[in-house]
Amino acid sequence: MVGRPWHKPRHPSFASGPAVKPSSWRLSSLDVSLLGRYHRTGEAVSRLRSARALLRELLMIPPGHRLVPMVGSASGAMESALWALLEPRYGVCALVWEHFGKLWANIAAMLVGDKLSVRHADYGQVPNCQDMTQEDVLFAWNGTTAGAWIGQSLPFGERPADGLVFCDATSVVFMHPLPWEQLDVVAFSLQKALGCEAFLGWLVLSEKAQRRLAARPPATKAAPHLLSLTDEHATLRMQPINSTSLLLLEDLRWCLDWAQKQGGVASLASKAWDNHRLMCDWVSACPWVDFLVPEAAHRPPAPLTLRLTDEENSEARVQALCALLAQQGAAYDIQSHPQAPCGLRIWTGPTVETDDLQRLCQWLTWGYAQINKQA
């Protein structure tokens, strides 16, 4: 008989974005002196610029790459890049193995038509990336809805001279060093690895991407106003097109400062991998659950996606388990993404405390025994 655990996780949110805040985060720690001020005032723009400078330093973004704040979080940044930089004269190969990769491929299809080629894999798998002849490549490094990533390094070679590599990196940034010299268009937000509030996204453009953007005739740059990357708009001058929340800006500054104090990307990645290994050890010893991603090389530091080994009534049992642990205040938001196969999805990023994951494992074991007893 499995006894009810004595201790609950101190921070029982294991959502895959926005992720849990660092344990030392407090709303009272934010500098709110600019709230109510005009978001384009000199002080506000200065704080956004200082955040960008620290972000560039922490991620080791090359000086020639342009780092642009965008509305709409990583999704807004990625869609802006697709509208601005995809052209029908360049072939595009989209790598798709989960929900967001499919979303970007669908947008690319609208923009380049039959110049798009899609390489697809089911949830838990990653498509073959060899022998791609198209100029442009489009992919999400870490497919959060599947809990599968492309790997530690890019599995494809350098693109042709005119080709660009488009990467949705929102679920890998700050948990893995990115090879900036191999990436041309990188979109991300900080709501996952650092637990920042959503809304503000970032776009990194290589010098090659900047040249393609500058060379396109104005008539081909017709994009929704909020998604525009053209030079005449304020986005590239650190003054986003629409109003920026100064409260969210202060949250961003706090989280970046926290990341710096932890030791930057290397330390945060180490913490995430420690959390990942702890959960993998529990899965290996647990008979009723298994990895959705069978190959360890394609499991990212976060999240970890799991399936029940007994598939009979698995959806009902997963829902009952998640509801029970939420009712107990032991775990929130651990069910798989709505577009993914039914199972569990547990964020193991650097803002998650290892002690909380240890306690979560105890509650998962107890909770599964409880729902089986009731069945």
**Closest CA relative to residue 346, chosen from 152, 139, 354, 285:** 354
* Kind and range of the H or E run holding 360: helix 354-374
- What are the boundaries of each domain within the chain? 33-260, 263-374
Percentages (nearest 5) of helix, strand, coil residues in the chain: 40, 15, 45
DSSP for 226-286 reads GG---TTSGGGGT--SSPPPHHHHHHHHHHHHHHHHHTHHHHHHHHHHHHHHHHHHHHHH-
Model confidence pLDDT, tens digit, residues 95-148:
999 999 999 999 999 999 999 999 999 999 999 998 888 899 999 999 999 999
Length of the chain in residues, anyone? 375
Over residues 234-245, the mean pLDDT reads 62
33-260: in CATH 3.40.640.10? yes
What is the spatial distance between Cα 148 and Cα 300, in angstroms, rounded to a whole number? Answer: 6
**Closest CA relative to residue 148, chosen from 314, 296, 354:** 296
What is the spatial distance between Cα 58 and Cα 259, in angstroms, rounded to a whole number? Answer: 8
Provide φ and ψ at 283, rounded to 5°: -60, -45
Type of residue at 195? G
Question: Per mean pLDDT, which range of 88-92, 238-242, 299-303 is the poorest?
Answer: 238-242
Q: State the average pLDDT for the chain.
A: 91
| CA angle in degrees (0–180, nearest 5) for 347-198-174 | 50
What is the spatial distance between Cα 73 and Cα 17, in angstroms, rounded to a whole number? Answer: 11
Buried-state track 300-313, b at ≥16 Cβ within 10 A, e below 16: bbbbbbbbbeeeee
pLDDT over 60 at 219, yes or no: no
pLDDT over 60 at 221, yes or no: no
- The number of angstroms, rounded, from the C-alpha of 151 to the middle of its chain's C-alpha atoms is 15
The pLDDT value recorded for residue 224 is: 64
CATH number for the domain running over 263-374: 3.90.1150.10
Model confidence pLDDT, tens digit, residues 61-94:
999 999 988 888 899 899 999 999 999 999 999 9
